[in-house]
Amino acid sequence: MRMKTLLAGLAMTTALTVPGLAMARPVTLTTTLKNYGGNGAYLALYVTDASGAYKGTLWVAGPKSKYHSHLSGWQRASGGNVAGINGITGASVGAGRTLKVTVDLADALFDAGYKLHVDVAAEDMRDSPSEVVVPLTAAGAGRPVAGRSYIQTFTYGM
């Protein structure tokens, strides 16, 4: 169980805070992994707009940047331009464990076609870009979604 509260974090990923500068709310992202029988997984949580264009990164689990190429959906969406993830990076997440982070998200991101993606990769196992893709909606909050391979449930709650 890991709890991170990030107030300043999103200053780095400006795109997410620009639309409604003053209006933001704390959102808790909870990712529980399956017991997939491997070493700790790297995760990237990021946001794209309706057309798939990259808007910003919310969290990266896994500190060694040389392995970040395995988070290929995130790398592709961001065009590899992920400088400035300092401060929103934590440890990798073990099989069967839960990652819980709280970030401040602009109100304008909700119900506006934006999508939240989770990429997962683990050593000697297959990479899973966009393991989870969920639209950011007020109604979708608190509803668990399963991933393709690694993720048991993913929930965002306000």
Partner 1 sequence: MLRWLHKVLALSVVVPLMALVISGSVLSGMPALERAGAISPPADGISVAELAARTVATHPGVEQIKRLPSGKVVAFHAGTDGPAAIVVDPSSGQAVSNHAPSTFERWMTNFHRSFFLGDGGRMAAGAAALALLVLTLSGVQMTARRMGGWARLLDRSRGGAMERLHADLGRLAALGLIVSTLTALVLSLTTFGLIPEGQSQAPAYPKMMQGGPARPMAEIDALRGVDLSQLRELTFPNPADPTDFFRLTTATGEGYVDPVSGALLAWQDHTVGRQIYELIYMMHTGRGLWWVGVLLGLSALAVPVLGVSGTALWWKRRRAHAPIVANVPAKVADTVILVGSEGGSTWGFARTLHAALTANGHKVHAVAMDHIAPSYPAAQRMFLLTATHGDGAAPASASVFLERLDGIGAPPPFPFAVLGFGDRQFPQFCRFARDVDAALTQRGWRSLLPLETIDRQSPQEFARWGKSLSAALGEDLVLAHAPERPRTHALTLIDRIDYGTEVQAPTCVLRFALPKSSLFARLMSRGRPRFSPGDLLAIVPPGETLPRYYSLASAARDGFAEICVRKHPGGLCSSLLHGLRPGDRVEAFVKANPSFRPAPGRKPVILIGAGTGIGPLAGFIRANRGRRAMHLYFGGRDPESDFLYRREIQGWLDDRRLTSLSTVFSRVSGGGYVQDRLRADAERLRTLVGAGAQVLVCGGREMAAGVRETLDELLVPAGLTPGLLKNEGRYLEDVY
Dist CA 120 CA 131 (whole Å): 6
Q: From the list 52, 87, 142, 144, which residue makes contact with partner 1 (rule: CB under 8 A)?
A: 52
What residue spans of 68-128 are helical by DSSP H? 72-78
Q: Residue 148 — left, alpha, or beta (φ > 0 → left; ψ -120 to 50 → alpha)?
A: alpha
Work out how close the CB of 67 gets to partner 1 at its nearest, in angstroms, rounded to a whole number: 10
Residues 62-91 that bind partner 1 (CB under 8 A): 66, 69, 72-73, 75-76, 79-80
- Count of residues binding partner 1 (CB under 8 A)? 28
Work out how close the CB of 59 gets to partner 1 at its nearest, in angstroms, rounded to a whole number: 20
Dist CA 147 CA 106 (whole Å): 25
Work out how close the CB of 33 gets to partner 1 at its nearest, in angstroms, rounded to a whole number: 8
**100 binds partner 1 per the rule CB under 8 A:** no
Site string for partner 1, 11-50 (x = CB under 8 A): ----------------------xxxxxxx-----------
Q: Is 118 exposed, middle or buried (0-12, 13-18, 19+ CB in 10 A)?
A: buried
Q: From the list 112, 133, 134, 145, which residue makes contact with partner 1 (rule: CB under 8 A)?
A: 133
Residue among 158, 147, 155, 157 at smallest CA distance from 41 = 147
Residues 102-131 that bind partner 1 (CB under 8 A): 124-130
Structure tokens at 68: 């970040």
**Strand pairing of 3-6 and 98-106?**
parallel
Which residues form the interface with partner 1 (CB under 8 A)?
A: 33-39, 52, 66, 69, 72-73, 75-76, 79-80, 95, 124-130, 133, 148-150
